């Protein structure tokens, strides 16, 4: 499984609890915790929700880049 370390970093940078982020993406705190730890693969549509919420690129969330490119609408 892939470990999404940036999910935790972004959540903590925004002073959010796991249960709050879980609610944003429509899942439980337990499932979200498994996403952060890499136990469970996070679906693309949920990653897109998080990228929009945090206003960063999917490349940043998935560690393909270190640049927090903002989403252009």
Instruction: Say whether pLDDT at 68 is over 90.
Output: no
Question: Which value, in Å, is the radius of gyration of the alpha carbons in the chain?
Answer: 11
Longest distance between any two alpha carbons in the chain, whole Å = 32
Nearest-5° Cα angle at 40, 36 to 43: 90
The answer to whether the CB of 58 falls within 8 A of the CB of 18 is no
pTM over 0.85: yes
Nearest-5° Cα angle at 66, 54 to 13: 40
Decide: helix, strand or coil at residue 4: coil
Range 5-61 has CATH code 1.10.260.40? yes
Per-residue pLDDT tens digits for 31-48: 999 999 999 999 999 999
């Amino acid at each position: 499984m892939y470990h999404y370390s940036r999910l935790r970093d972004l959540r903590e940078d925004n002073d959010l609890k796991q249960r709050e982020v879980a609610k944003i993406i429509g899942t439980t705190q337990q499932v979200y915790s498994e996403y952060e730890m890499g136990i469970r693969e996070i679906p693309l549509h949920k990653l897109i929700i998080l990228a929009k919420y945090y206003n960063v690129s999917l490349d940043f969330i998935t560690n393909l880049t270190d640049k927090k490119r903002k989403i252009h609408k």
